Structure 1
Amino acid sequence: MSARVPRAVYYALASNIVVALCKFAAAAYTNSGATLAEAAHSSADCLNQVLLIAGRRASSEQPDEMHPLGFGRETHFYAVLVALQFFLIGGLLSVGIGVWRLWHGATLDHLGIAAGVLLGSAAVEGFALRASIRSIDRRHRKGGLWRWFRETGQVEVMLSIGEDSAALAGVLVSLAGTALAAATGWPGFDALGSIGVGCVMMTTAVVSLREIKSLIVGEAARTGVRNEMRAWLEAREEIERVVSLVVLRWSDSLVVAVQAEMVAQRSADELVRTVDRIEHALQDAFPDARWVFFEPELLEHGDHPP
């Protein structure tokens, strides 16, 4: 398995480092809680990208006797750490900053500078999000970004796009709080903006954890992929009927298990050669199918669950 880290992760890391430094400087100068929450948000994102890169490196280890399918799912463990860190450090810390400032009635200075930094951050985050989305294969996002998010096995890209989306939404929430504080003269709106940033982050973390859990439990490939694979198998002249087809996502790859009634073969050796030919042809037609397990079935064995 390749150790290549998806470009979306690097896009997110680079943008978050630049944005975090700008936000911390602006927060220190303006005493804006919403901007400070955004700085914490971007700092959490930086740590997240480092964890995702570490996870991808760990997943590149070669299969061994105890892990015959490799270490591809190592990325899921790191993804859980990322989502939990996003919830605890990013989300709860932002809410805590907002609550503390709301309780103590902290004042604000130089709101124009804070707004300017946030607008600049929105531009950077928007560019990073666009670049991350464009890194997805066009075929995989035909059904829309949300469908891709629900069906992808690339947890690093999923989390990077989720974080970029949350970052952009958080900046807009912070801008709204800062603008209202400037318009009304009540700094509480800035504190509420900080709380809003935390809520955005925690919501993103919960949604991401739900998807990661599904992948850890074991999730089938996209419906379109399964249908295409079944149609490909049924079109093979060596196959009489596809009895069962299971296509399981394993990180970036697929595990395929096929049971099929075969056209009568002249000998057992010929049957083995036919099965080998089908397995190799299937992997050529579907490059993501890293493991293929093909089991010939006889009609007298009865039907099997689909």
Structure 2
Amino acid sequence: MSASGGTKAIVAALSANLAIAVAKFVAFLFSGSSSMLAESVHSLADSGNQGLLLVGGKRAQRQATPQHPFGYGRERYIYAFLVSIVLFSVGGMFAIYEGYEKIKDPHEIEHWYWPVGVLVFAIIAEAFSFRTAIKESNPLRGKQSWSQFIRRAKAPELPVVLLEDLGALVGLVLALGGVGLALATGNGVWDGVGTLCIGVLLIVIAIVLAAETKSLLLGESAGVDEVRKIEAAMVDGDTVTRVIHMRTLHLGPEELLVAAKLAVRHDDTAAEVAAAINAAEARIREAVPIARAIYLEPDLYDEAAAKRGTNPGMTPAPDSSPH
């Protein structure tokens, strides 16, 4: 996995979650708090998720084969999608079930100092992991807002770790609130309510992750800046006069496919056109290094056909019809 894949953030999150999962489970054994049990399962699920991200990053590095000529870059998207499934089922649904059971049959929390102490420790550890993920994300985020970064990032690992860490911190606060209210009122129902809130939170995060990863699996185009750089690199103003139409597709976070039809002058020789196409490919790779697979087709631009919308190479207008 490349540095942009956020390996450091994943390892930091994995280390924190393993330690926290053990501590939470010990606290559950001593206190009987359902919030602690839900949080321990949550941390265990997060640890498994970070393991999945590392496995996906490793498998994505395999060389292309005749059966998979564009390589295995999308494996990172597949494993990120598996993370959302684990978070939904193991984390969210279990917490909702456990919260329901605790509300139906509440019991007092014993040895209150165990869950409170572990939750404080977990908040500190998760905050460290979250800080690492933020530091790793900032160079890639640039001027984008955090919501824009999560929606537009082509590498899935950092958005996944960011959302998991944010969910973990909010979940810990909810667990601490549930345990605190249960201790203050002597009513174990509050512990169950806190557990239910944790379950709902995890399911919401899992749905967001699934939606974003689904978009990557379907195939996203290059970003606006990359598209502009590619278009500018294609046209030399001499042999290549304009871009008739272009399509881009991410084969993986650091692998981009570019396919375009370029307008050339009608009186250029085949040798001149071939040289211009080769030069355009070189300029594209220099401008956008992740453009690995480039297919350029020379053609003659028909302005009348383009205006009528009958030019098959014309980029279609955005669909304004309701979906």
State the TM-score, normalized to the length of structure 2. 0.87
1:144 and 2:145 matched: yes
| 8 A Cα contact 2:258 2:295, kept in partner | yes
> Is 1:278 matched up with 2:287?
no
Which residue of 297, 300, 303 corresponds with 1:298? 300
* Cα distance in 2 for residues equivalent to 1:119 and 1:91: 22
| CA pair 237-118 structure 1, distance change in 2 beyond 3 A | farther
Q: Structure 2 CA distance, aligned partners of 1:284 and 1:228? A: 10
- Give the SS at the match of 2:245: strand
User: 1:66 Cα deviation (Å)?
Assistant: 1.3
User: Secondary structure in 2 aligned to 1:136?
Assistant: helix
Residue 230 of structure 1 deviates from its aligned partner by: 2.9
Quote the sequence identity (%): 30
1:245 aligned partner, one-letter code: M
CA distance 1:234–1:182, shift in 2 (3 Å): farther
Q: CA deviation at 1:37?
A: 0.8
Distance 2:142 2:157 in 1: 16
**Equivalent in the alignment of 2:309:** none
Deviation at 1:5, TM superposition (A): 6.9
Q: Does 1:210 align with 2:219?
A: no
Change (3 A) 1:221 1:23: same
- Residue 156 of structure 1 is matched in structure 2 by 157
| Deviation, structure 1 residue 63 | 0.7
Give, in angstroms, the shift of residue 7 of structure 1: 2.1
Deviates more, 1:265-274 or 1:284-293: 265-274
Describe the shift of the 1:151–1:265 C-alpha distance in structure 2 as closer, same or farther (beyond 3 A). Answer: farther
Cα deviation for residue 128 of structure 1 reads: 0.8
* Shift in Å, 1:77: 2.2
| Structure 1 residue 11, shift from structure 2 partner | 1.7
Partner residue, 1:12: 13
**SS of equivalent to 1:240:** strand
Deviation at 1:137, TM superposition (A): 5.6
Structure 1 runs not aligned, ≥5 long: none
Which residue identity lines up with residue 75 of structure 2 in the other structure? Answer: E
Partner of 1:36: 37
- Relative to structure 1, the CA distance from residue 152 to residue 238 in structure 2 (aligned partners, 3 Å threshold; closer, same or farther) is farther
Q: CA RMSD in A?
A: 2.2
Distance 1:236 1:132 in 2: 44
Which sits farther off after the overlay, 175-184 or 295-304? 295-304
Q: Deviation of residue 174 (structure 1)? A: 0.9
- Number of aligned pairs? 306
Equivalent residue, structure 2, for 1:50? 51
Aligned twin of 2:289: 287
Q: Residue 117 of structure 1: SS of its match in structure 2?
A: helix
Given the superposition, is the C-alpha separation of residues 235 and 24 from structure 1 closer, same or farther in structure 2, using an over 3 Å criterion? Answer: farther
Structure 2 residue runs without a partner (length 5+): 307-312, 316-323
Question: What SS class does the counterpart of residue 302 from structure 2 fall into?
Answer: helix
| 1:97 aligned onto 2:106 | no
Q: What per-residue deviation string (whole Å, max 9, x for no partner) do you get for residues 79-116 of structure 1?
A: 22221111111111111111111111121023343222
Q: CA distance change for structure 1 residues 126 and 5 in 2, over 3 Å: closer, same or farther?
A: closer
The alignment partner of 1:247 has SS state of strand
Residue deviations 1:39-87, cap 9 Å, x none? Answer: 1100001111111211122211111111110011122222222211111
Q: For the Cα contact (< 8 Å) 1:151–1:221, is it kept in 2? A: no
SS at match of 1:244: strand
SS in 2 for 1:277: helix
Return 261-270 or 152-161, whichever deviates more: 261-270
- 1:221 positional shift: 2.2
The reply to whether residue 26 of structure 1 matches residue 31 of structure 2 is no
Residue type at the aligned position of 1:196: C
**Cα distance between partner residues in 2 of 1:236 and 1:119:** 64
SS in 2 for 1:75: helix
Shift of 1:266: 4.1
Deviation at 1:234, TM superposition (A): 4.9
Find the aligned partners of 2:106 and 2:176 in 1 and give their Cα distance: 19
Answer whether contact 2:28 2:34 (CA < 8 A) is retained.
yes
**Structure 2: distance between partners of 1:191 and 1:144:** 35
User: 1:60 corresponds to which residue?
Assistant: 61
Change (3 A) 1:135 1:264: farther
User: Where does residue 126 of structure 2 map in the other structure?
Assistant: 125
Q: What do the CA deviations read for 1:20-49 (whole angstroms, capped 9, x no partner)?
A: 111111121222111111111000011111
Would the aligned equivalents of 2:133 and 2:162 in 1 still touch at CA under 8 Å? yes
Between stretches 134-143 and 270-279, larger displacement belongs to: 134-143
CA contact (8 A) 1:248 1:255 kept: yes
Distance 1:225 1:138 in 2: 17
Take 2:106 and 2:202, find their aligned partners in 1: how far apart are those partners? 24
Q: Is the 8 A contact 2:177 2:194 kept in 1?
A: yes
Alignment correspondent of 1:261: 263
